[in-house]
Structure 1
Amino acid sequence: MVFLRFSFLAALVALAIATPTDRSAFLVHEHRAQPASGFVSTGPAPSDAQLTLRIALNPNNIAGLESELYAVSDPSSSRYGQHLTPEEVAGYVKPSSDALSAVTSWLQTNKISATTISPAGDVLQFKIPVSQANSLFNTEFSVFTHSDTDETTIRTLQYSLPAELSAAVAYVHPTTTFSRPFAVPKPQPLPSNSKRDTDPTCADITTISCLQGEYGIPTTSATQTNNVLGVSGYDNEFANFNDLKQFLAKYRPDFPATTKFDVELLDGGSNTQVTGFAGVEASLDIQYTVGVASGVPVKFISVGPLNNDTVSGFLDQINALISDPSRPTVLTTSYGFDEEDLTLPVAQGLCNAYAQLGALGTSILFSSGDGGVGGNEFECTTFVPTAPSTCPWVTSVGSSQTILENFTKNNFSEIGAAFSSGGFSNYFEAPAYQKGDVDAYISSLGDTYSGLFNTTGRGFPDVSAEGVNFVVVAGNETGLVSGTSASSPVFASVIALLNDELIAAGKSPLGFLNPFLYSPAGRAALNDVSDCTSGFNATVGWDPVTGLGSPNYPKLRTAVGLS
């Protein structure tokens, strides 16, 4: 969108003469008919309750950034692998000076001092009481309670902005977005036959050796210390060093059990080592990155509660990594939302942040969710896509399940796991790299599921990996965990090992993966998964259950030019 300088100068004049309570020139900026599923309004928010709000300004050239992202991520491009610098990225994202002046002047007129909290200067943050927020945005904030958890949050179903600022502002948050992370997996007991936990045929359980055998993952140690694999931690999930030591000693005996991971704390995050606080999700993510990505430095990025909500935490993590010269080359996240819980502007803003990090050379992977076509809420009336998996600039990972009969290192088959979430975005169109695949799959459906999903939306997941019955040690207890939150760390570890070899050979890390994965060479290096038990079908080629398929390390190694 082009901003005319005259319009913003006029806006500054109008704001200078307007009173803070003038409502004559307000326009509704965001509106939702009802709160997100499970939330119920329980009355007006206390007038003196403090809100920490963010105003995100529209980037000056997001289309230019997306074009650059494709240029450095498409193997057919002459600029493949020539990732951008933070300064170059900021040049596409920063707001126009007129837009920034107009918004800051409006805030100052209302006696609000805002702080810039993003590298490109496009996000402003400030703290005000509910009474002032109601006046500032011509709205009424309410308390909403979730029917399952009894957790409360302050939100509104609609807010407005001065008409002169509407084009400058992308969104105000938290206002109309309701967010909850996916449920943490619950471990199941090990099979009663104790011999099963080391069975080389992988009957009943999944261990490191199973994954190495299935996908040809190397066991030799990585060598590049500047190739970091980042693991996201949210929702007070803590990764325990002693649990990792026990896990490696039993399930990766060829590797030093003393291997550790680094920790980065954001937004008041922590990583307590009290045994009773060890998180199942954090344990799963760390044990199957450290254990699979042999010798790759792993960093657990624990994001705390000082951010209003998880969406803000996701944004804070990306902003921190954009500013970090030693940022990970791969980032795996096992948390997310139902897409419908986020408003379109917030979903776009989050997706734009991932485009920035991808342009810098980081591969961003998300688990697709464990509710099948019903998303986080396991709904059945319509198919519910999950976010951020629907963002075109991330790689969404679904789950497969190995058929165990006659399993050998080079002879196995997979089906799509019934719980693996997948489908089509209601916010983002199918991007160029997958449009042909999405169109072909939807055409094959005919009238099946007609009206239950968006036929023009971005399809997810992109790829898959084993996700059933992973052995995990958490709080000194061993159990089995299933979910796409197991699959994403595995696929991320494969990418991290490829990056290690690429960097050692003097090449760039892979960065944004999807243009490569959907290329002829990329898709030929994946194990196509073409069967499933419920919901969408897993078919030959791309499908919204297992994507393009699971990793084949030797073939991927060749596809990226290592042999």
Structure 2
Amino acid sequence: MPEHQRSPRLSLRVFALAAAVTCVAGLGTAASAVASPPSPPPSHSKAYPGSVPPWAGSRTKTGNPLSNTTVEGEIYLNLRNLAGAKATADGVSTPGSASYGQYLTPQQWIDTYAPTQASFDATVNWLKSQGMAITGTPQSRLYVVFRGTVAQINAAFSTSEQNYSFDGQTLIGPASAPSVPAELGDAIQGISIDQGKLLTHPTNATPNSGEAAPAASKPIQPPLNVPCSDYWGQKTATLPEAYGTTSFPTNICGYTPAQLQGAYGISPAGTVNATAGAGQKVAIIDAYASPTIVQDTNTWSAASGVPQLAADQYQQIVPDSRMFLDKALCQEPSGWQGEQTLDVEAVHGMAPAANILYVGGNNCGGGLDLAMSTILDSHLANIVSNSYGNTGEALPANTLMGEQNIHLQAAAEGIGLYFSSGDSGDEVANLGYASPDFAASSPYVTAVGGTSLAVGQDGSYLFETGWGTARQRVVQDSTGQLVYAGSLPGPFRFGAGGGTSAVFAQPAYQVGTVPASLAQGHRVSPDVSSLADPYTGYRIGYSPITNDNVLKTGSFGFEGIGGTSLACPLTAAQMAVAQGSSGKVIGFANPAIYTAAAAGGAQRDVVPPAHEKAVAFSSTVSGNTYLVGMNHDSSLFTAPGYDDVTGVGSMTEGFAQQVAALH
């Protein structure tokens, strides 16, 4: 499908959305910073205390939003038989089960477990009666996405929307439990009327992430100018003594598909298997859409030793760019363009013959759910890569459970959902407490953690460590001597997310593999891992958006990038290759992953290195030079066997084949 071609049905839906949002804004009351008290809930109503976000409290409150501010909301409906839906998802996904691999069609799942049409229609009609604009509904009837003004939401849900400070942003959320009429209560699982989901973000990182250009009055005067390397140890730099040496390899400019295919066993070292992934389709979900994705991918492919996209090999389902919503909170289309490019070029590099379906959300909240349902409700692919996540599990409890229902549908249909585990380690720096990122912490998705990877001159695999970056800057002392600015390894910069969920119970497939002292009866993520460290990252190429309003782009260029946003599509692509060569559909992979690992699988167990691993790096933005230490991931640690940085280990193609062979 050409880059700008869209489904006519989708286009009509988006233009209807535009009219609906305009209508909502027009219905709002006059702008006012004075919050009216919430209407008392009717005597016959049901309240949802689990729909108040954990960050909405008196300590974080900053004021009252304007009453005509438009807010996205989402109502999640109860499944008709939650226990049965879980049993089905577990049964079709678990090796040895009588129903293993006997997946349901979308219609079978909807007919058996989805909310009833009557309860769905009643919810939609009530929202409309309250003046809300319905902006998206899936065929599965699992939820309703709508928009309303603060005044409308306060009146409809008998609450008071307030402004709160969270994660560096000002967010709107309810100060008290929202409620609905009692006759709707039994059908509704939860209500999302806060902006927390709009903090869903891409989980990628570059070597220059967080670097700032020096002030004009202080031009760059670097003590060193360390060049990057094309392979591990190609170039070295002399730094102050650390770990018994003064000579350190320099960071990787960005590995190529041949290097990664060879390192992970898809092709002989240093070569490309151009037919890998033939007959398979990998779906990718992100917010918004790059206007130059096909052109950029083909330019990158020509320079990276892989075939360009064949006709119809790439397809996309995206909203009209004029209908992109909530761009400021969602980090703008330019903030997601690099993510989409990374996802597409990572899949194409590892599985060059696989078809790719990109489905873009109109925002990073309910739009991502609608993108997912577009795939699930028509079974458009059986592998879905999702390189985004929330900050920990800091969403309302009802929202987490409503989202899990979507994951249950995917598992029952034999669709594997792969989510990046995050790039902020244990999230203590952002939340003040340890938490794995959602949706990777859901028991019905495969969470992909991260590693640092060394590939040799001949394209051979050398080693991996857990991805956890600690950096210490190299500076000059008063005598001009190069020294470290502080103790080594230095402050934590970023690393793979993971840890123990505070919400989800331990799934059966983790029992016996995840140490009980780590799990404490709860789900632990990640499940597997792949390359994520941007200092040993992947080379992508794209034409960056320079104007987010009209999506104007600049000149094409290459960039080294990483993050678990890289690990996720790499793993999804490896599963596609395994499906293509085995003729099997893996579906929700976790039960098979843990079964294969327990039997002595071909995954690489990532353990603490015998000797400290570090690279030298000079920022092209700030001019700073660092010694970058590896395997220092906040309070998460690699260990023999399962660990909360890399899961059961680094994904290899041999291991993916073992997982597929269990079918």
Q: Give the TM-score taking structure 2 as reference length.
A: 0.69
Cα deviation for residue 342 of structure 1 reads 1.2
Answer yes or no: is 1:391 the counterpart of 2:391.
no
Contact persistence 2:596–2:659 (CA under 8 A): no
Contact persistence 1:237–1:281 (CA under 8 A): no
- Structure 1, residues 395-440: CA drift from partner, whole Å, max 9, x if none? 0001111245x77666532111111111011110110000222344
Distance 2:143 2:200 in 1: 23
Contact persistence 2:131–2:148 (CA under 8 A): no
Cα deviation for residue 390 of structure 1 reads 0.5
Distance 1:159 1:462 in 2: 35
Aligned residue number for residue 80 of structure 2? 60
Aligned residue number for residue 531 of structure 2? 466
Aligned residue number for residue 567 of structure 2? 487
Distance 2:119 2:153 in 1: 21
SS in 1 for 2:201: coil
CA change 1:49–1:176 in 2 (3 A) is: closer
CA change 1:515–1:282 in 2 (3 A) is: same
Distance 1:339 1:195 in 2: 33
SS in 1 for 2:514: helix
Contact persistence 1:424–1:460 (CA under 8 A): yes
User: What amino acid is aligned across from residue 319 of structure 1 in structure 2?
Assistant: S
User: What amino acid is aligned across from residue 114 of structure 2 in structure 1?
Assistant: K
Answer yes or no: is 1:88 the counterpart of 2:108.
yes
Cα deviation for residue 214 of structure 1 reads 1.4
SS in 2 for 1:287: helix
Aligned residue number for residue 197 of structure 1? 230
Answer yes or no: is 1:431 the counterpart of 2:514.
no
Cα deviation for residue 173 of structure 1 reads 2.3
Cα deviation for residue 65 of structure 1 reads 1.5
User: What amino acid is aligned across from residue 470 of structure 1 in structure 2?
Assistant: Y
Answer yes or no: is 1:215 the counterpart of 2:264.
yes
Distance 2:632 2:145 in 1: 47
- Structure 1, residues 233-271: CA drift from partner, whole Å, max 9, x if none? 2266666333322322222x2534778752423454589
User: What amino acid is aligned across from residue 209 of structure 1 in structure 2?
Assistant: A
Distance 2:607 2:567 in 1: 17
Which one of 456, 470, 494 corresponds to residue 521 of structure 2?
456
Aligned residue number for residue 382 of structure 1? 433
Pairing of 1:534-545 with structure 2 (within 5 A):
534=633, 535-545=635-645
Which one of 249, 255, 258 corresponds to residue 302 of structure 2?
249
Contact persistence 1:261–1:290 (CA under 8 A): no
Answer yes or no: is 1:560 the counterpart of 2:653.
no
Of stretches 383-392 and 76-85 in structure 1, the one that deviates more from structure 2 is: 76-85
User: What amino acid is aligned across from residue 416 of structure 1 in structure 2?
Assistant: G
Contact persistence 2:589–2:659 (CA under 8 A): no
Answer yes or no: is 1:357 the counterpart of 2:406.
no
Contact persistence 2:56–2:173 (CA under 8 A): no
Which one of 14, 18, 29 corresponds to residue 48 of structure 2?
29
Distance 2:231 2:298 in 1: 17
Contact persistence 2:286–2:336 (CA under 8 A): no
Cα deviation for residue 196 of structure 1 reads 3.7
Pairing of 1:161-180 with structure 2 (within 5 A):
161-163=180-182, 165-175=184-194, 177-180=196-199
Of stretches 432-441 and 173-182 in structure 1, the one that deviates more from structure 2 is: 173-182
SS in 2 for 1:279: helix
Answer yes or no: is 1:335 the counterpart of 2:388.
yes
Distance 1:181 1:559 in 2: 30
Of stretches 126-135 and 468-477 in structure 1, the one that deviates more from structure 2 is: 126-135
Contact persistence 1:361–1:512 (CA under 8 A): yes
- Structure 1, residues 323-363: CA drift from partner, whole Å, max 9, x if none? 224x1121111111024331111111111101102221211
Aligned residue number for residue 533 of structure 1? 632
Aligned residue number for residue 27 of structure 2? none
Aligned residue number for residue 99 of structure 2? 79
User: What amino acid is aligned across from residue 263 of structure 2 in structure 1?
Assistant: E
CA change 1:229–1:34 in 2 (3 A) is: closer
Contact persistence 1:119–1:322 (CA under 8 A): no
User: What amino acid is aligned across from residue 297 of structure 1 in structure 2?
Assistant: N
Cα deviation for residue 296 of structure 1 reads 0.4
Pairing of 1:93-108 with structure 2 (within 5 A):
93-96=113-116, 99=119, 103=123
Which runs of no fewer than 5 residues in structure 1 stay unpaired? 1-19, 443-453
CA change 1:239–1:557 in 2 (3 A) is: farther
User: What amino acid is aligned across from residue 478 of structure 1 in structure 2?
Assistant: F
Equivalent pairs counted in the alignment come to: 517
Answer yes or no: is 1:290 the counterpart of 2:342.
no
User: What amino acid is aligned across from residue 452 of structure 2 in structure 1?
Assistant: Q
Contact persistence 2:301–2:308 (CA under 8 A): yes
User: What amino acid is aligned across from residue 401 of structure 2 in structure 1?
Assistant: Q
Cα deviation for residue 557 of structure 1 reads 2.3
Contact persistence 2:408–2:444 (CA under 8 A): yes
Contact persistence 2:436–2:499 (CA under 8 A): yes
Contact persistence 2:575–2:656 (CA under 8 A): no
Distance 1:460 1:277 in 2: 26
Distance 1:239 1:553 in 2: 31
Distance 2:276 2:261 in 1: 19
CA change 1:291–1:339 in 2 (3 A) is: same
Which one of 346, 356, 367 corresponds to residue 313 of structure 1?
367
Cα deviation for residue 478 of structure 1 reads 1.7
CA change 1:192–1:128 in 2 (3 A) is: closer
- Structure 1, residues 535-556: CA drift from partner, whole Å, max 9, x if none? 2221111111100111221343
Which runs of no fewer than 5 residues in structure 2 stay unpaired? 1-38, 209-223, 236-248, 325-332, 469-494, 544-555, 609-630
